[in-house]
Amino acid sequence: MNIDSCIAFAQDLIRISSMSGKEKTIIERLIAEMRILGFDDIRVDENGSSIGTIRGKGKGSTLLLDGHCDTVEITNPSDWSFNPFGGEIHGENLYGRGAADMKCALAAMIYAAGSIDRSQLVGSVVISATVVEELMEGISFKTVVDSVKPDFVIIGEATDLNVNRAGRGRAEIKIVTTGKSAHSSSPHLGVNAVNMMAKIIQSIEKVELPMDEFLGKAQMVLTDIISEPYPGYSVIPNKCISTYDRRLLPGETNDSVINMILADPSKTNVPFSISIEQGEHQTYTGRILKGEKFFPAWSFPENHELVQNAIKGLIQTGLSPLVSGYQFCTNAAYCAGVAGIPTIGFGPGTEGSAHIVNEFIPVSDLRAAAFGYKGIIESILSTQ
Ligand SMILES: [Zn+2]
């Protein structure tokens, strides 16, 4: 494997701005590199995600490695010490938006697959670069998974070079109270929807959230609250909407999450409605992706063959991975959480270095990830 070219490729990917919904240029760059590396089949699906395949010499499993190629925006450019689109290396680190989340992982996967000795492999390795993941996890990945039909999936989100066998999910919950408008000089003629919401919020604070031995406690965090009319000049608000970010544990469903809340705030005798928020986003190809913002958690046992084979492959490349889980939500919400396909996470960088000012990755992590992916591919698809 030409690791210097892999590092240069990762720098190039950082230099291409690819905010969610604007990934066309980076997809073209990814395709160009896969061509140079001799991928057998390269295509772009209807959402604009790229899918590159390398085939072994005989029939066998299909291993899909996924990385999303979109990034979050730069909210405060003046806080950055380096150009977020410079792909600059300073000291031991490579800096830029997407360095940790997750352009270096994509570069490493593509180089790992591209350097595989096909004569030693059965089955095929597929690398997907998915779009709009930062807006809705798993929504464009569903199209990839449903067409590739993998036997195993590796998600390349940051694991600090460990093997993640589980991940928390995420849901957006919308709560609405409806009151009655009145002039604020005569509040007794109205019903204040914000006061109603305040009671619901207090009640939700007391909801006992579930616990998972491996992933820890579920979370429910109030992220916004909006009243109508706004601004409410001398008007009693007739409507109030609050949004909660709920971090999910394995086994939690749409119904179980909602029922948990209904069981408690209803004691306050305040009427309210509750639902899972709907998401709708347009891809750069013009496709509208819609869905409920409920992305399930997932978990596989430590003795699962995928976990064990991945560890074996990584040890052969000189790594000593721990077994861990994702606290954030990833594309695995679909392949593992919905489709039930055996999935693990392995990637360079840490969860804490995603979405931050001066996002970076140690160059040594990028190098180790490239050889690590190669080790995992060989371990899972080896003919021996
Ligand atoms: Zn990510």
Mean pLDDT of 58-68: 95
pLDDT surpasses 60 at 76: yes
- Angstrom distance (rounded) from CA 330 to CA 310: 19
Asked if the structure places residue 287 within a domain, the reply is no
CATH code of the domain containing 123:
3.40.630.10
Strand partners, 242: 175, 225
The pLDDT value given to residue 286: 97
Asked if the structure places residue 268 within a domain, the reply is yes
Residue 195 CA to ligand 1 center (angstroms) comes to 38
- In tens, the pLDDT along 284-317 reads 999 999 999 999 999 999 999 999 999 999 999 9
Residue 62 CA to ligand 1 center (angstroms) comes to 23
The pLDDT value given to residue 336: 97
Asked if the structure places residue 363 within a domain, the reply is yes
Spell out the residues 6+ positions from residue 305 whose beta carbon is closer than 8 angstroms to its own: 342
The pLDDT value given to residue 23: 97
- How many structural domains are present in the chain? 2
- Angstrom distance (rounded) from CA 247 to CA 195: 26
Residue 86 and residue 54 share a domain: yes
Residue 382 CA to ligand 1 center (angstroms) comes to 29
Q: Mapping DSSP to helix (H, G, I), strand (E, B) and coil, where does residue 161 land?
A: coil
Residue 346 and residue 328 share a domain: yes
Question: Which residue in 10, 221, 24, 2 sits closest to 95, CA to CA?
Answer: 10
Asked if the structure places residue 249 within a domain, the reply is yes
Residue 49 and residue 155 share a domain: yes
Strand order in the sheet with 89-90: 89-90, 93-95, 360-362
Residue 212 and residue 199 share a domain: yes
Q: 232, 247, 282: which is the final residue of a domain?
A: 282
Residue 109 CA to ligand 1 center (angstroms) comes to 15
**Other CB atoms closer than 10 Å to residue 101's CB: what's the count?**
27
Residue 331 CA to ligand 1 center (angstroms) comes to 8
Residue 205 CA to ligand 1 center (angstroms) comes to 29
- Please report which helix (H) or strand (E) contains residue 254, including its range: helix 254-262
Give yes or no for a cis peptide into 362 (omega within 30° of 0).
no
Residue 330 CA to ligand 1 center (angstroms) comes to 7
Q: State percent of the chain over pLDDT 70.
A: 99
Asked if the structure places residue 290 within a domain, the reply is no
> Cβ(364)–Cβ(88) under 8 Å?
no
Residue 175 and residue 157 share a domain: no
Residue 138 CA to ligand 1 center (angstroms) comes to 11
Q: 282, 314, 345: which is the final residue of a domain?
A: 282
Residue 218 CA to ligand 1 center (angstroms) comes to 20
Residue 281 CA to ligand 1 center (angstroms) comes to 17
The pLDDT value given to residue 384: 56
Residue 157 CA to ligand 1 center (angstroms) comes to 6
Which of 77-81, 140-144, 167-171 shows the lowest per-residue confidence on average (mean pLDDT)? Answer: 77-81
- Angstrom distance (rounded) from CA 195 to CA 193: 5
- Among all chains, which residue has been given the structure tokens 């604007």? 22
The helix-helix angle for 3-15 and 24-36 (nearest 10°) equals: 160
Residue 76 CA to ligand 1 center (angstroms) comes to 19
Residue 68 CA to ligand 1 center (angstroms) comes to 6
Tokens found for residue 9: 């490729």
Mean model confidence pLDDT for the chain: 95
Strand partners, 54: 125
Residue 117 CA to ligand 1 center (angstroms) comes to 29
pLDDT surpasses 70 at 264: yes
Residue 351 CA to ligand 1 center (angstroms) comes to 9
Residue 101 CA to ligand 1 center (angstroms) comes to 5
Mean pLDDT of 226-250: 95
Residue 250 and residue 152 share a domain: no
Q: Mapping DSSP to helix (H, G, I), strand (E, B) and coil, where does residue 324 land?
A: strand
Residue 228 CA to ligand 1 center (angstroms) comes to 34
Asked if the structure places residue 291 within a domain, the reply is no
Asked if the structure places residue 21 within a domain, the reply is yes
- Angstrom distance (rounded) from CA 232 to CA 224: 17
pLDDT surpasses 90 at 347: yes
Residue 132 CA to ligand 1 center (angstroms) comes to 10
Residue 104 CA to ligand 1 center (angstroms) comes to 11
> Cβ(103)–Cβ(112) under 8 Å?
no
Residue 348 CA to ligand 1 center (angstroms) comes to 11
Strand partners, 166: 299, 325
Q: Residue 116: what are its φ and ψ, rounded to 5°? A: -70, 140
- Among all chains, which residue has been given the structure tokens 């977020």? 84
Residue 125 and residue 184 share a domain: no
Tokens found for residue 143: 């199209």
- Please report which helix (H) or strand (E) contains residue 105, including its range: helix 104-114
Q: Which domain holds residue 114?
A: 3-168+297-381
Residue 258 CA to ligand 1 center (angstroms) comes to 27
Residue 79 CA to ligand 1 center (angstroms) comes to 21
The pLDDT value given to residue 229: 95
Grade residue 44 by pLDDT with cuts at 50, 70 and 90: very high
Residue 155 and residue 223 share a domain: no
Residue 332 CA to ligand 1 center (angstroms) comes to 11
Residue 318 and residue 215 share a domain: no
pLDDT surpasses 70 at 150: yes
Phi-psi region of 261 (alpha: psi -120 to 50; beta: other; left: phi over 0): alpha
Which of 28-42, 183-197, 260-274 shows the lowest per-residue confidence on average (mean pLDDT)? Answer: 260-274
Tokens found for residue 17: 């701005």
The DSSP code sequence of 32-59 is HHHHHTT-SEEEE-TTS-EEEEEE-SEE
Which is higher by pLDDT, 383 or 19?
A: 19
Q: 282, 307, 340: which is the final residue of a domain?
A: 282
pLDDT surpasses 60 at 219: yes
Residue 242 and residue 224 share a domain: yes
**Other CB atoms closer than 10 Å to residue 356's CB: what's the count?**
14
Residue 201 CA to ligand 1 center (angstroms) comes to 30
Residue 70 CA to ligand 1 center (angstroms) comes to 8
- Angstrom distance (rounded) from CA 239 to CA 70: 35
Asked if the structure places residue 292 within a domain, the reply is no
Q: Mapping DSSP to helix (H, G, I), strand (E, B) and coil, where does residue 171 land?
A: strand
Length of the chain: 384
The pLDDT value given to residue 355: 87
Question: Which residue in 70, 135, 168 sits closest to 290, CA to CA?
Answer: 135
CATH code of the domain containing 231:
3.30.70.360
Residue 19 and residue 153 share a domain: yes
Residue 180 and residue 161 share a domain: no
